[in-house]
């Protein structure tokens, strides 16, 4: 995705603006799920190591070059090593011209191929033969891919490249073995981690069960205390009522006794008042009799 972002049409803000999203994802997934991104780029590495991109002399093969944005090509530099017979520059597209501007690329390839008798298109050392052209002439290359001329490479270079490939294969096998060992260690570590997590889950489950049992015991104790308090309250209620009744009765008895005593005192006072009035009347009568006797004695003549 980094290369698609860097090498696509600079006018596009995102890679999917230059290349259809489905086509972009299909291209990426083909390399991803098959693990062939490295092997797909291997031809560039081998070509550079073999020195195939550094031509021994100027190639007489007619070459066509299509220059798209993001791909910098200097014709004066290419003319030193190649016979440029077709040069095109385009204002849209990018490094992935076949995906970004296929119409421009196809039209340009057709225009170049039509001038050749037996055109060949070379890419990463693989030659694909095109249909015969309408004009005579030697084979050629197109789309900015320089003819590497592998058919004339020295046998020694091929042997060295083969030896390098064998060394790289051996190194890759060793790295693969190391990766397998690392993967096995990682799997063992993951298994141990899973066991530890399982033990931790069991411990947490046991702790939860103990907590549940403790809560149940505490609730049972609380219910028992509540029941005892309710029974004590129910048992104490009649006694309190009886004591209240007795207290009320005593209060009433005291009130009744006080009232009776007060009535007795009032009656005694009334009787005392009656006696006092009677005594006063007797005294008044006695005084009256005395006065009458005195008056009779005063009225009698002396003897």
pLDDT tens string 26-72: 888 898 899 898 888 888 888 778 766 655 678 888 989 999 887 77
Question: How is residue 44 written in tokens?
Answer: 């560039």
Query: Residue 104 corresponds to which tokens in the numbers above?
Result: 């421009």
Contact 59, 145 (CB under 8 A): no
Residue 144 has pLDDT above 90, yes or no: no
Among 72-81, 145-154, 255-264, the least confident range: 145-154
Site of tokens 């031809």: 43
- pLDDT at 236 > cutoff 90: no
In angstroms, the Cα distances linking 56 to 60, 125, 129, 153, 288 are 12, 17, 24, 10, 188
pLDDT given at position 52:
61
Domain spans, the chain: 2-153
- Of the pLDDT bands very low, low, confident and very high (cuts 50, 70, 90), residue 103 is very high
What confidence tens digit (pLDDT) does each residue in 126-142 have?
Answer: 344 444 443 434 444 44
55: phi then psi, degrees, rounded to nearest 5: -65, 145
pLDDT of residue 300: 66
pLDDT reading at 152 higher than 50: no
* CA angle in degrees (0–180, nearest 5) for 298-301-302: 100
CA 24 to chain CA centroid, nearest Å: 29
Contacts of residue 75, Cβ cutoff 8 Å, sequence gap at least 6: 65, 84, 87
Rounded average pLDDT over 212-241 = 82
Of all residues in the chain, the percent with pLDDT exceeding 70 is: 82
User: How many H helices and E strands in the chain?
Assistant: 9, 4
Euclidean distance between CA atoms 291 and 126, whole angstroms: 182
| Averaged pLDDT of the chain | 78
Which residues are within 8 A (CB) of 63 and not within 5 positions of it... i.e. 6 or more apart?
A: 78, 82, 83, 84, 85, 86, 140, 141, 142, 146, 147
Whole-number Å distance between alpha carbons of 40 and 31: 8
What share of the chain has pLDDT > 90, as a percent?
Answer: 6
Given the candidates 1.20.1050.10, 3.30.70.100, 3.30.1490.20, 3.40.50.1820, the CATH classification of the domain at 2-153 is: 3.40.50.1820
User: Which of 11, 21, 98 lies closest to 1, judged by CA?
Assistant: 21
Tell me: pLDDT of 276 over 90. no
Residue 301 has a pLDDT of: 61
Q: What is the DSSP track for 211-235? A: HHHHHHHHHHHHHHHHHHHHHHHHH
Burial of 120 (0-12, 13-18, 19+ CB in 10 A): middle
Query: Cα 115 to chain center, whole Å?
Result: 62
């Amino acid at each position: 995705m980094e290369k698609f972002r860097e090498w696509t049409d600079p006018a596009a803000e995102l890679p999917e603006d230059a290349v259809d999203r489905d086509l972009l994802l299909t291209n990426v997934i083909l390399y991803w799920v098959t693990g062939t991104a490295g092997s797909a780029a291997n031809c560039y590495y081998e070509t550079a190591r073999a020195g195939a991109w550094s031509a021994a002399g100027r190639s007489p093969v007619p070459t066509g070059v299509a220059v798209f944005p993001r791909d910098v090509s200097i014709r004066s530099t290419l003319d030193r090593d190649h016979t440029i017979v077709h040069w095109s520059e385009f204002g849209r597209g990018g490094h992935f011209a076949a995906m970004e501007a296929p119409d421009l690329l196809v039209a340009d390839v057709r225009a170049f191929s039509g001038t050749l008798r037996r055109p060949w298109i070379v890419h990463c050392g693989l030659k694909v033969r095109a249909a015969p052209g309408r004009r005579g002439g030697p084979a050629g290359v197109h789309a900015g891919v320089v003819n590497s001329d592998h058919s004339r490479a020295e046998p020694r270079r091929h042997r060295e490249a083969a030896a390098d490939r064998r060394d790289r294969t051996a190194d890759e096998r060793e790295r693969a073995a190391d990766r397998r060992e690392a993967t096995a260690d990682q799997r063992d570590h993951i298994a141990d981690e899973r066991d530890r997590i399982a033990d931790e889950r069991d411990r947490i489950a046991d702790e939860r069960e103990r907590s549940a049992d403790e809560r149940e015991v505490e609730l049972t104790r609380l219910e028992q205390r509540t029941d005892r308090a309710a029974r004590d309250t129910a048992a104490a209620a009649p006694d309190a009522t009886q004591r209240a009744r007795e207290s009320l009765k005593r209060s009433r008895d005291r009130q009744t006794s006080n009232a009776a005593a007060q009535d007795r005192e009032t009656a005694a006072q009334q009787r005392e008042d009656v006696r006092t009035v009677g005594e006063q009347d007797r005294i008044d009568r006695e005084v009256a009799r005395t006065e009458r006797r005195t008056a009779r004695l005063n009225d009698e003549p002396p003897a």
